[in-house]
Amino acid sequence: MSDLSINFAGIKAPNPFWLASAPPTNSGYQIMKAFDQGWGGAVWKTLGVPVINVSSRYGGLDYRGTRMMGFNNIELITDRPLKDNLKEIEEVKKHFPDHAVIASLMVETREEWHQIVRDVENAGADGLELNFGCPHGMCERGMGSAVGQEPEVIKMIVGWVKEVAKTPVIVKLTPNITDITVAGLASVQGGGDAISLINTIQSIIGVDIDNFVSYPNVGGESTNGGYCGPAVKPIALNMLKNCAQHPYINLPISGIGGIENWKDAVEYILLGAGSVQVCTAVMHYGFGIIREMIAGLEQYMDQKGFKTIDDMVGKALPKIKTWENLNLNHKVVAEINNSKCIECQLCYTACEDGAHQAIGINKEETRVPYIIEENCVGCNLCSLVCPVEGCITMKRKDNGKEVITWKEKTMAGDVPTTFDDERAGGAGHHVPKPADALKK
């Protein structure tokens, strides 16, 4: 049986599923309820000098029937007095000594950092997370992402915290930066024990086209917010990969962004996360989603023969290379399973207008399209648009033995070097004549 327990940078938890610092971790009541249902850890809603929030704070992006595929907020850090939060941290730790309670922090001066670190540690926090990521409101005041975008300031503040911290320090990074590894490296240089990513992405979720106000509407006006939820997962995964593969960022990473089920969590772990954090999915579906997450992860680990989470961390990283090291001889073409086809012809339209005119239709006999194999470049588009699972599959055509990469070809002097070079990948490939467009 797999063991889900983790030791993340010295912070122990019964499983890698933590609540991210956000409304679900606003109070001891919520965190106790979550732990009771199975969550392994919680990062407390960011503590600091309490704020005053605006009312009307969230915006959702629905996509074709799916509610909140993306989520946007303009909420700030905690609006509750510190003493109330400290009392509740103490109480939660008393009831759940083996669960991870991490205090997210955001203050300004060195003295304030020292004071709040001592306060939360005295209350029993198992670790600290420095919020260098909030991309709205707090950054206007020189905190949050304003810190996370300045490597020197990251280094300085992590250093301040490490002067007094007795528990592990996680630096939470902002995605609102050109290269997140620069911030990751600054966290290492400041003496951080771990990093977490991502915080929200600065965003405008939409505009009310009748009233000319973007969302969320605060008395007829608005401001930019922070984007999260399933829509941000691909961006977060790439940033995770960049940090996990970086030769000098050898810190444990807590993965955050769009995680809503066990499979999302596994993807994060395989790309290098030692724990995962969840916000939007809990705001959408409640704490109960943890049951499926734990059961699914256990089953996956058993199937794959992973005994511990550490066995899985980063397993997919060696297979992510730079583009120049991919095999140019790898060749796939689309294949349609006629018996599954529902004759919608979406694949035909996609390939005809958006790809390489490699799908034909026989107007007289049947509506099932056919692949023109010599025109197919193996881009996958038709298989992605086809609404029937397994109806279009990509079949391998090369023998898998001859590998040649762009890097090798460059070194051998065998790549296009002039605009009209006949070694171009598409030279001689079928392209209809422009005038043929008007005949159909």
Ligand X SMILES: Cc1cc2nc3c(=O)[nH]c(=O)nc-3n(C[C@H](O)[C@H](O)[C@H](O)COP(=O)(O)O)c2cc1C
The residues that touch ligand X, with contacts defined as CB under 6 A, are: 20-23, 45-46, 71, 73, 75, 77, 104, 131, 133, 172, 199-200, 228-229, 232, 256-259, 278-281
Tell me which of ligand SF4, ligand X, none is bound by residue 104, counting a contact when its beta carbon lies within the kind-specific cut-off of 5 to 8 angstroms.
ligand X
Tell me which of ligand X, ligand SF4, none is bound by residue 272, counting a contact when its beta carbon lies within the kind-specific cut-off of 5 to 8 angstroms.
none
Q: Which stretch binds ligand SF4 (CB under 6 A): 12-20, 28-36, 173-181, 334-342?
A: 334-342
Binder among 31, 43, 138, 376 for ligand SF4 (CB under 6 A): 376
Q: Which is nearer to ligand SF4, 182 or 346 (CB)?
A: 346
In three-state secondary structure terms, 295 is: helix
Q: How far is the CB of 429 from ligand SF4 (least distance, A)?
A: 10
Strand partners, 214: 207
CA distance 308 to 310: 5
Q: In sequence order, which ranges of 28-102 are alpha helices (DSSP H)?
A: 28-37, 82-95
Binding of ligand SF4 by 362 (CB under 6 A): no
Tell me which of ligand SF4, ligand X, none is bound by residue 342, counting a contact when its beta carbon lies within the kind-specific cut-off of 5 to 8 angstroms.
ligand SF4
Q: How far is the CB of 215 from ligand X (least distance, A)?
A: 14
Site string for ligand SF4, 385-414 (x = CB under 6 A): -x-x--xx----------------------
CA distance 139 to 150: 12
Orientation of helix 262-270 relative to helix 289-304, angle to 10°: 50
Number of H helices, E strands in the chain: 13, 20
- Is residue 379 annotated as a catalytic residue, yes or no? no
Would you state the structure tokens that stand for residue 160, as one six-digit string? 């301040």
Binding of ligand SF4 by 361 (CB under 6 A): no
Q: Which amino acid is at 399?
A: N
Binding of ligand SF4 by 346 (CB under 6 A): yes
Q: Which stretch binds ligand SF4 (CB under 6 A): 38-46, 107-115, 253-261, 348-356?
A: 348-356
Tell me which of ligand SF4, ligand X, none is bound by residue 199, counting a contact when its beta carbon lies within the kind-specific cut-off of 5 to 8 angstroms.
ligand X
Q: Are 255 and 240 in contact (CB under 8 A)?
A: yes
Binder among 5, 223, 380, 393 for ligand SF4 (CB under 6 A): 380
Q: Which stretch binds ligand SF4 (CB under 6 A): 118-126, 152-160, 197-205, 337-345?
A: 337-345
Tell me which of ligand SF4, ligand X, none is bound by residue 252, counting a contact when its beta carbon lies within the kind-specific cut-off of 5 to 8 angstroms.
none
Q: How far is the CB of 362 from ligand X (least distance, A)?
A: 46
Among residues 176, 172, 201, 202, which one has the least CA distance to residue 184?
172
Token pair 């005994």 in the structure block, residue: 307
Cα of 161 vs its chain's centroid, Å: 27
CA angle 71, 72, 74 (to 5 degrees): 150
CA distance 373 to 53: 59
Q: Are 168 and 191 in contact (CB under 8 A)?
A: no
CA distance 197 to 241: 11
Binding of ligand SF4 by 378 (CB under 6 A): yes
Binding of ligand SF4 by 345 (CB under 6 A): yes
Orientation of helix 28-37 relative to helix 289-304, angle to 10°: 40
Tell me which of ligand SF4, ligand X, none is bound by residue 280, counting a contact when its beta carbon lies within the kind-specific cut-off of 5 to 8 angstroms.
ligand X
Element containing residue 336 per DSSP (H, E): strand 332-336
Positions marked active-site: 134
Which residues contact ligand SF4 by CB under 6 A?
334, 336, 341-347, 350-351, 355-356, 358-359, 369, 371, 376-382, 386, 388, 391-392
